[in-house]
Chain A
Amino acid sequence: MKHILITGNEAAAWGARLVEPQFIPTFPITPQTECIETLARWKVEGDLPGTDFERMESEHSVMSAAIGAAAVGARVFTATSSQGLMLMHEVLYIASGMRLPIVMANISRGLSAPVTLWSDHNDFLDQRDSGWIMFHAENNQEVLDMILQGYRVAEDPKVLLPVMVNMDGYVLSFTDEPVIIPSYEDVKQFMPAYDPQHTITPDRPVTVGPPVMDEYTDYKAQAHLASRNALTVLKDIQDDFEKIFGRRYHTVDEFMLDDAELVLITQGSMSTTAKAAILEMREEGVKVGLLRLRVIRPWPGEIICKALQNAKAIAVIDRNIAPGKGGIMLPEIVETLYHSNNRPLVSGFIVGLGGKPQTEARIKEITRKLADDLASGRPRIEWNDLEVS
């Protein structure tokens, strides 16, 4: 174990290095480049002895090669971002449909056009229904830890689904933070050697990815149930993780929720800013708390309901936009609360597109507006400072 200052990209690379994948197909895209460059350098320096590092000609081929290698039974890692993730879109469904436990880091970046290099969450939320398990990290330590946990979930026989570990571009990918690098021994204890459930060997012919008729729906039902299984599996994994590494993660991150009347729902790196703002607002007596979504798929609806049982008003802060609809997570939260005994007021705020910074002042303003909404009984949907509905 050692404590070093590294970027989110390097944290993702460290996560990969520690699990010793057999195959890493890559294609560069800002802001993911540093992650694969780090792995390439480690490879030539002899730090990745059992790993094949490969350059592909596109992200579509990255995921295709990942599928080929995973289908024969190899452990695979890769990383991408934005347009690259969009180019993979077709094959993401194939990876999950074949139930291949690939783990991929996605360094989120807004989508063209117009071009932006900065982060928002549209790239991976567009993959929301692809059958991948989707995590979203708040900081660089969590990036590394999520990759370790990601392999455990992905490879669990009750799950067998690919995992995407998302982090915000620039804010995490290019920012140094102190990160604890676990030892190989501890990682081995957490994660015994890979015993692939799907293999192709010379003595046992198998068919992967054939056409089906009526069974299609059964396959999809199984993949859905497997994704739901991941919620239970994840709990055990988090227990094991705490035992070995001493850090505890929960499926949703609850911050000062016990007595909170106003609750902000956030994702990713802006949660750190929001938490700081909340601490200040608490000093002023505002009963505000935060719920951070860190597991997007499978959707932890029941856990969210429980965490929100005392809330009176909720601000869903979406760093994404579904044009013609609004924020993507807002309807997910509203649907979840519809089945809850507690039905708080829910307002939506669309923020931070194309990397627009989220300041503490902005978080405080959202909280004030949420208090107004609670007083007036009228929820709002707001896009930056613009009332859009």
Chain B
Amino acid sequence: MQPIKSIKDIPELDLFTGGSSVCAGCGPSMGLKLALKVLGPKTVIINSAGCMTLLPLFPNTPLKVSWIHNAIENAATTAAGARHGLDALGFKDMNVVVYAGDGATYDIGFASLSSTAIKNERVIYICYNNQSYGNTGFQCTTATPYGSETKTTPRGKENPIGNTNIHKDMLKLMGVHRVYCATASLAYPVDFLNKLNKAKERNGFSYIELLGTCATGWNFDPRYTIKISRLAVRCGMWPLYEIDDRKLSLNKEFKQLKPVDEYLQLQGRYKQLPPDGVTKLQSLVNEHWAQLNEFNAKRYV
């Protein structure tokens, strides 16, 4: 497969038509629309319960591909079952693709994801990471960044920080499963789609994590979805990198990161984060960025 060189090479194919009920500026739904351009019509999406579950609402669907919603914690193993079934029936050319939120991926569905990855099932797992349980109204998951306010980590007298946990390093965790892993951002669609094409060519499991920029939960003006998706990368909050055969490659390198504050200020969820919280978040970002640079083009996991 030829790599996509510029945005002009992105296929016009559109398998995600209008009429869905997602929020204005919804990043995850844009991600799916983009992804389907390279996944193509011979695709079955396995969805975990979350915001995207409401894309089809009986008897309508905006999707022109097959879709299975099973439950929240079992998208990976449902996909494994579908893969085995399709292979047995002779449909080896169908893509089995999970589209799951971070709650379903990092938390409640982690066991099912881990077992499917370690067995190297021929499945493309896309986690759209909106850093929250979005569908239930924006509660904290283990993907929620330090300092983010959520409905279950509200700021208050006793805790001005909001979420005090440091999120799981999921790429590293998936890396140790020795599968192809990558991060992606809506602001870099060429990078995202090339990663998907890579995953498509694998004869095994791949894990792609797309920043699921969420206007409603993160509380920003919906017109800024792409701007925020770009800033996340520029500030080092969401570095673009991949782990292939346990080796790390940074896909977007910057001499100097922008300060995280620039990213934080656009979002209501960080509005009241006190200065020491911002400092701590900045140091976490610096630490991660330094680590990625240190291991760039080297064995990482």
Verify A209–B82 contact, CB threshold 8 A: no
Q: Which residue of B lies closest to A72 (CB)?
A: B85
Q: Any chain B CB within 8 A of the CB of A323?
A: no
Q: Which of B61, B77, B89, B91 counts the most A-chain CB atoms under 10 A from its CB? A: B77
Q: Of the candidates A50, A68, A199, A205, which one forms a contact with B81 in the assembled complex, judged by CB atoms under 8 Å apart?
A: A68
Residues of B within 8 A of A72 (CB): 44, 82, 85-86, 89, 91
Verify A209–B81 contact, CB threshold 8 A: no
Q: Any chain A CB within 8 A of the CB of B57?
A: yes
Residues of B within 8 A of A58 (CB): 111-112
**Count the A-B residue pairs with Cβ separation under 8 angstroms: how many?**
146
Residues of B within 8 A of A50 (CB): 88
Which segment of B68-76, B175-183, B243-251 sits at the interface? B68-76
Verify A200–B114 contact, CB threshold 8 A: no
Digit string of B32-76 for contact with A (CB within 8 Å is 1, else 0)?
Answer: 000000000110101000000110111101011111111101100
Distance of A60 Cα from B81 Cα, bound (Å):
12
Residues of B within 8 A of A201 (CB): 91
Distance of A90 Cα from B49 Cα, bound (Å):
13
Verify B82–A68 contact, CB threshold 8 A: yes
Verify A64–B88 contact, CB threshold 8 A: no
| 6 nearest CB pairs, A to B | A68-B81, A65-B81, A64-B74, A69-B85, A74-B85, A57-B115
Verify B77–A61 contact, CB threshold 8 A: yes
Question: Chain B interface mostly helix, strand, loop or mixed?
Answer: mixed
Q: Any chain A CB within 8 A of the CB of B153?
A: no
Q: Any chain B CB within 8 A of the CB of A202?
A: yes
Residues of B within 8 A of A23 (CB): 81, 84-85, 88
Taking the closest CB of chain A, its distance from the CB of B125, in whole angstroms, is 14
**A213 and B85 in contact, given A68-B80, A72-B44 (Cβ under 8 angstroms):** no
Taking the closest CB of chain B, its distance from the CB of A213, in whole angstroms, is 7
Q: List B residues 90-146 near A (Cβ within 8 Å).
A: 91, 93-94, 111-112, 114-115
Verify A68–B58 contact, CB threshold 8 A: no
Taking the closest CB of chain A, its distance from the CB of B111, in whole angstroms, is 5
Distance of A210 Cα from B64 Cα, bound (Å):
14
Q: Any chain A CB within 8 A of the CB of B78?
A: yes
Verify B70–A68 contact, CB threshold 8 A: yes
Verify B81–A57 contact, CB threshold 8 A: no
**A210 and B77 in contact, given A58-B112, A69-B84, A200-B82 (Cβ under 8 angstroms):** no
Q: Of the candidates A54, A91, A208, which one forms a contact with B74 in the assembled complex, judged by CB atoms under 8 Å apart?
A: A91
Q: Any chain B CB within 8 A of the CB of A25?
A: yes
Verify B77–A65 contact, CB threshold 8 A: yes
Question: Chain A interface mostly helix, strand, loop or mixed?
Answer: mixed
Q: Of the candidates A52, A71, A202, which one forms a contact with B68 in the assembled complex, judged by CB atoms under 8 Å apart?
A: A71
Q: Any chain B CB within 8 A of the CB of A66?
A: yes
Q: Which residue of A lies closest to B68 (CB)?
A: A208
Q: Of the candidates A60, A69, A70, which one forms a contact with B112 in the assembled complex, judged by CB atoms under 8 Å apart?
A: A60
Q: Any chain A CB within 8 A of the CB of B214?
A: no
Taking the closest CB of chain B, its distance from the CB of A50, in whole angstroms, is 7
Distance of A56 Cα from B81 Cα, bound (Å):
10
Distance of A70 Cα from B86 Cα, bound (Å):
10
Q: Any chain B CB within 8 A of the CB of A215?
A: yes
Q: Which residue of B lies closest to A68 (CB)?
A: B81
Residues of B within 8 A of A209 (CB): 68-70
Q: Which residue of B lies closest to A53 (CB)?
A: B84
Taking the closest CB of chain A, its distance from the CB of B210, in whole angstroms, is 22
Q: Of the candidates B67, B70, B77, which one forms a contact with A56 in the assembled complex, judged by CB atoms under 8 Å apart?
A: B77
Taking the closest CB of chain B, its distance from the CB of A207, in whole angstroms, is 5
20 residue pairs A–B, Cβ–Cβ below 8 Å: A23-B88, A25-B77, A50-B88, A57-B112, A61-B111, A65-B84, A68-B80, A68-B85, A69-B88, A73-B89, A74-B88, A74-B89, A90-B71, A205-B66, A207-B56, A207-B61, A207-B66, A209-B70, A211-B57, A213-B57
Digit string of B231-270 for contact with A (CB within 8 Å is 1, else 0)?
Answer: 0000000000000000000000000000000000000000
Q: Any chain B CB within 8 A of the CB of A1?
A: no
**A205 and B53 in contact, given A60-B73, A60-B74, A211-B58 (Cβ under 8 angstroms):** no
Q: Any chain A CB within 8 A of the CB of B79?
A: yes
Distance of A68 Cα from B76 Cα, bound (Å):
10
Q: List A residues 190-207 near B (Cβ within 8 Å).
A: 199-202, 205-207
Q: Which residue of B lies closest to A50 (CB)?
A: B88
Q: Which residue of A lies closest to B74 (CB)?
A: A64
Q: Any chain B CB within 8 A of the CB of A127?
A: no
